[in-house]
Amino acid sequence: MTKTDLISMVAQKADLTKKDSEKAVTAVIDTITEALVNGDKVQLVGFGTFEVKVRGERMGINPRTKEKMKISASKLPSFKAGKALKDSVAK
């Protein structure tokens, strides 16, 4: 499903115009993104939790040269599905 498909489904289920549903979907995505950038956790009960995970600095091996190299620390967005979502998908 693409963002366009999602907008169409939201418009149909919420009885909105595609233009209004596009604004709503974009606003939700932007709000979640801003919260993650600010270091906040976004928890949607029954759906899941979005948060930023920090990966520490570590040593790795360059597969081409077999040389050891340092991999810098990084921040990654992550999503953990809630129980209701897991149960729905499992059916």
Which CATH number does the domain housing residue 74 bear?
4.10.520.10
Looking at the structure, tell me whether residues 51 and 34 fall in a common domain.
Answer: no
By the 10 Å C-beta count (0-12 exposed, 13-18 middle, 19+ buried), 35 is classed as middle
**Rounded to the nearest 10 degrees, what angle do helices 18-37 and 3-14 cross at?**
120
Give CA–CA dist 34/67, Å, rounded: 38
Region for 66 from its dihedrals, namely left if φ exceeds 0, alpha if ψ lies in -120 to 50, beta otherwise = left
**Domain ranges, residue 81:** 45-91
Residues 26 and 49 in one domain: no
* pLDDT tens sequence for the chain (91 residues): 999 999 999 999 999 999 999 999 999 999 999 999 999 999 999 999 999 999 999 999 999 999 999 999 999 999 999 999 999 999 8
- What is the total count of domains within the chain? 2
| Three-state SS at 86 | helix
Indicate if 7 and 35 belong to the same structural domain.
yes
* Same domain membership, residue 51 and residue 87: yes
pTM equals: 0.81
